[in-house]
């Protein structure tokens, strides 16, 4: 069955346009509630299953939360509300509270006009494809309502933020002491605004918090991992040792050093893996089609296997579980350490980097010096819906010409976006001027084939 609503990371779109409407959210809550009730009935007997609903700071979260709550209640599912909380915090609390599922209302790094709904299963991992397909099938049936005696109840989770703060701190050695370190923490005016600064402060760091004043409209606007310039500037302004930038739902992270130099997910994952490899055997690491070739080569130099998944943290996670590996990530800043959490977590990932720095007694530039990333140029070309680039001989020819020019010393990747009508053209190699020209040549062929 092809997916109609669920993409690589749940259901996502522009608020007020299907499927991100109050009507659809109610239907989705009811359909998911029916599926959960049927799946968990044999285990729970007469007890109702429960779901946790968390959200980021978008104003539309209130509407979607209320509609989901109504749908779940009508299906006989109890709802536990935790308010604004990072996506990985919802994953953790779902598992800790022994609930049937967790729901996050967030469009991650997108602007406030967008929103989304994604699910976690009872074990804190992303909901499996089979469960999402079952929910989609159930969405085709009319919304009903249990009789009054079998409706779900709603509860407020006390101190959800505090519980998640303690979990984050538990992922590092108890001896970790960040005293003497000054950190700029950029919360993107998102879900971590009342969590992230406390985590680092309670571990001893002096924290300069920015992007921590959400108003419902400013999430990801000029702050956070997608706009790290303010964080980098703040590092210099305050003489900080590091800057940490999270995105709107805090599942990705970028870091800047004391000079304001930015480190992406590949570099941060390298620092974590290099630190762990000195203390334990690491069988393999997962990346994506976008992971820099230099990262793969650096792992080979350490005798560590590497495998690429499709772009999207859920695919990295699937590959890790399939191979039995613990570490993986994306250059966008999604980093997964399965020995610490069941999903990508920006705060937890930043903490693992800090552990590596503290235990090595060295700065970030030193620990990452052996990894020299190849320049990577990415051009997003807007195309019509359902545009099949593989059917264009001109695009294929431009791609082959680029690959011949690189002669094995780089990569060319064309892939459609999973969230918007664009074809992403990525060229990686050296020198930068040549790959910029190569990428633009391919993008020009795409524009022409797509009708300009």
Q: Which residues are catalytic?
A: 108
Which helix (H) or strand (E) is 428 found in, with range? strand 422-428
Residues 148 and 151: their CA atoms lie apart, in Å, by 5
- Beta-strand pair 101-105/114-121: antiparallel
Single out the residue of 15, 19, 48, 24 nearest to residue 143, CA to CA: 24
Q: List alpha helices for 288-431, DSSP H.
A: 293-301, 313-323, 346-360, 364-367, 393-406
Place of tokens 């992922």: 171
Alpha carbon of residue 355 to chain centroid: 22
| Other CB atoms within 10 A of residue 166 CB | 12
- Indicate if the alpha-carbon torsion angle 307, 309, 311, 313 is positive or negative: negative
Residue 210 has which token pair?
């920015």
**70-94: b or e for each residue (b if 16 or more CB lie within 10 Å)?**
bbbbbbbbbbbbbbbbbbbbbbbbb
Alpha carbon of residue 70 to chain centroid: 27
By the 8 A CB rule, do 294 and 373 touch?
yes
């Amino acid at each position: 069955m092809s997916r109609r609503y669920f993409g690589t990371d749940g259901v996502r779109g522009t608020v007020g346009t299907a499927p991100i409407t109050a009507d659809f959210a109610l239907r989705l809550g009811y359909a998911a509630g029916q599926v959960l009730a049927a799946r968990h009935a044999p285990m729970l007997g007469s007890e109702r299953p429960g779901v946790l609903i968390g959200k980021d700071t978008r104003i539309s979260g209130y509407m979607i939360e209320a509609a989901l709550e109504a749908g779940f209640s009508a299906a006989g599912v109890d709802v536990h509300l935790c308010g604004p909380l990072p996506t990985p915090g919802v994953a953790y609390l779902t598992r800790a509270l022994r609930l049937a599922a967790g729901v996050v209302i967030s469009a991650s790094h997108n602007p406030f006009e967008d929103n989304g709904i994604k699910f976690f299963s009872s074990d804190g991992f992303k909901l499996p494809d089979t469960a999402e397909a079952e929910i989609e099938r159930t969405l085709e049936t009319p919304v009903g309502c249990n009789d009054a005696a079998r409706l779900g109840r709603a509860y407020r989770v006390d101190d959800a933020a505090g519980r998640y703060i303690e979990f984050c701190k538990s992922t590092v050695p108890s001896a970790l002491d960040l005293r003497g370190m000054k950190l700029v923490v950029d919360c993107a005016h998102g879900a971590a605004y009342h969590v992230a600064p406390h985590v680092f402060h309670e571990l001893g760091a002096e924290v300069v918090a920015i992007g921590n004043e959400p108003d419902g409209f400013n999430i990801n606007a000029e702050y956070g991992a997608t706009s790290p310039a303010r964080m980098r500037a703040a590092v210099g302004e305050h003489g900080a040792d590091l800057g940490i930038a999270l995105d709107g739902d805090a599942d990705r992270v970028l870091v800047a050093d004391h000079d304001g130099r930015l480190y992406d997910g590949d570099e941060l994952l390298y620092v974590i893996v290099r630190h762990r490899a000195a203390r334990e055997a690491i069988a393999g690491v997962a990346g994506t089609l976008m992971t820099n070739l230099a990262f793969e080569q650096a792992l080979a130099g350490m005798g560590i296997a590497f495998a690429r998944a499709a772009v999207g943290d859920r695919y990295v996670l699937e590959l890790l579980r399939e191979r039995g590996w613990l570490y993986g990530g994306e250059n966008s800043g999604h980093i997964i350490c399965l020995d610490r959490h069941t999903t990508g977590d920006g705060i937890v990932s930043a903490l693992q980097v800090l552990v590596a720095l503290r235990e090595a007694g060295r700065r970030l530039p030193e620990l990452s010096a052996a990894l020299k990333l190849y320049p990577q140029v990415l051009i997003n070309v807007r195309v019509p819906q359902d545009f099949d680039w593989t059917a264009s001989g001109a695009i294929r020819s431009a791609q082959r010409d680029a690959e011949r020019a690189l002669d094995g010393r780089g990569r060319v990747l064309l892939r459609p976006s999973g969230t918007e009508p664009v074809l992403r053209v990525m060229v990686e190699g050296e020198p930068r001027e040549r790959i910029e020209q190569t990428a633009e040549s391919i993008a020009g062929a795409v524009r022409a084939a797509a009708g300009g």
